[in-house]
Amino acid sequence: EEEEEEEEHKEHTMTSSSVSSLRLLHSHKHVEFIKNSSLDTETIEYALTEHLRLSGMYWGLTAHKLLVMNKNNQEDKEDKEEEEEIMSKEDVMKFINECYDEKSSLFAGAPGHDGHLLYTLSAIQIFVLYECVQEQLSEERAKKICTAISKLQSKEDGSFAGDEWGEVDTRFSYCAFSALSLLAHGMGEECFLDDGLEALKIGGSDDEKKEDNQDKNRSKALGIMRKIVDVDKGCEFIMKCRNFDGGFGSTPGGESHAGQIFVCVGALQICNQLDLLYTADDDEEEENDKLAWWLAERQVKVGGLNGRPEKLPDVCYSWWVLSSLAALKKKHWIDLDKLKAFILRCQDDISGGISDRPDDEPDVYHTFFGIAGLSLMKHEGLEEIDPIYALPVRSVRKIGIESDWY
């Protein structure tokens, strides 16, 4: 509480000139911060985060792409070429493939670790980021990954475990559906035809012929996913994790949390079942908007967002909350200008990077989610990010994902 009061005091005492200066995003410094973070391998922080190295790579590379992909964000061609070499594609792909676990047919957080759904999604996201899904994944490996994911789904309730040890969490439902969707789009329908998908006759009905390419691509991908996992039962499990306040927990009865809401809303959107959030009666507006209200109430006086009631704001929730509101088409329900100002106040003006709260130590995790949050608010100079797949819009469009949530 004292920290929040201090943040509020800082906000109220800022002069108009300081507010104006804080609205500048130090893009070049953030690129340098991300680059230096990957090079500084002798720190205790680097050693302690080995188990999630692959996800850390995804955070850093995606943040970098959001900063430099937009040509208007470059001062000149020389800077662009230099920044694109923050880490060579060859080194990135070499590391990712070293993380592949033959035993589980999933990717691990680092070489020699056990495969897990979390890091499998990170690997596939990076492949999409670099536009090389088919280049890096053979049809055999892609199918092995799909089979491994299907084995992690419970036939009883539709939930997903993260790995062979059986921990269940709605995060893993999102990871499974997102990874399968990206694979279906990225590998192409032909990769899966010999597995009986001809019988689907995807896009063959009169109604489907009327769909535009966006809906056809989504239908094809969803048809492939349905051949691999039980999509409907998976969504039923997610809905069992919904609470009286409209939010979602990690398992049935678990406390509502903004991070869990993102994965649940994202999974439902990917599976084209977001309508499960709403009652059949359109007159029940209050009930239908309960989730959006819960999310909007996460904004505190200093402008930032928290993950649960009575908690301090944290930059990472600029993504978890705002992306969910974007999917619900309710971004305007919070004060976006105050949120932008909060994120920009969390920048390190000297060495770059973004922290959880002003004056704290920056890290790659919060740098990514801070930049992603600003991207969702269409901050000038940033590439636009997809709020469901957490990748640049331009990247997901390259594999045929085109939706109306952004």
Residue 257 has pLDDT above 70, yes or no: yes
Give me the pLDDT at residue 279, please.
72
- Coil, strand or helix: which one is 249? coil
State the Cα–Cα distance between residues 325 and 256, nearest whole angstrom: 15
State the Cα–Cα distance between residues 32 and 48, nearest whole angstrom: 22
Give percent of the chain above pLDDT 90: 74
Residue 282 has pLDDT above 80, yes or no: no
State the Cα–Cα distance between residues 44 and 46, nearest whole angstrom: 5
Give tens-digit pLDDT for 85-97: 678 999 999 999 9
Give percent of the chain above pLDDT 70: 83
Give me the pLDDT at residue 46, please.
83
Give tens-digit pLDDT for 28-86: 999 999 999 888 788 888 888 899 999 999 999 999 999 998 754 444 444 444 445 67
* C-beta atoms surrounding 155 within 10 Å: 7
User: With the C-alpha atoms ordered 41, 43, 47, 53, is the resulting torsion angle positive or negative?
Assistant: negative
Give me the pLDDT at residue 213, please.
66
Burial of 102 (0-12, 13-18, 19+ CB in 10 A): exposed
Read off the pLDDT of each residue in 93-111 and give the average, rounded to a whole number: 98
Give me the pLDDT at residue 202, please.
38
Counting other chains too, the contacts that 263-266 makes at CB distance below 8 Å and 24 or more residues apart are: 263/170, 263/171, 263/173, 263/174, 263/175, 264/170, 264/173, 264/174, 264/238, 265/291, 265/324, 265/327, 265/328, 266/174, 266/177, 266/178, 266/323, 266/324, 266/327, 266/387, 266/388, 266/389
Of the pLDDT bands very low, low, confident and very high (cuts 50, 70, 90), residue 13 is very low
Residue 392 has pLDDT above 80, yes or no: yes
Read off the pLDDT of each residue in 339-367 and give the average, rounded to a whole number: 97
Give me the pLDDT at residue 193, please.
77
Instruction: Find the range with the poorest average confidence among 9-23, 67-81, 146-160.
Output: 9-23
Residue 5 has pLDDT above 60, yes or no: no
State the Cα–Cα distance between residues 365 and 159, nearest whole angstrom: 27
Give me the pLDDT at residue 72, please.
42
- Coil, strand or helix: which one is 101? strand
Give me the pLDDT at residue 44, please.
86
Q: Are 382 and 374 in contact (CB under 8 A)?
A: yes
Residue 129 has pLDDT above 90, yes or no: yes
Tokens of 184: 């279906």
Task: State the pTM of this model.
Answer: 0.89
Closest to 62 (Cα-Cα) out of 95, 40, 39, 87: 87
Give tens-digit pLDDT for 244-256: 999 999 999 999 9
Tokens of 96: 């990712």
Give me the pLDDT at residue 215, please.
74
Give tens-digit pLDDT for 176-201: 999 999 999 999 988 887 655 443 44
Give tens-digit pLDDT for 258-279: 999 999 999 999 999 999 999 7
State the Cα–Cα distance between residues 273 and 106, nearest whole angstrom: 27
Mean pLDDT estimate for the chain: 88
Residue 209 has pLDDT above 50, yes or no: no
Give tens-digit pLDDT for 356-378: 999 999 999 999 999 999 999 99
Q: Which residue has the higher pLDDT, 398 or 8?
A: 398
Give me the pLDDT at residue 203, please.
38
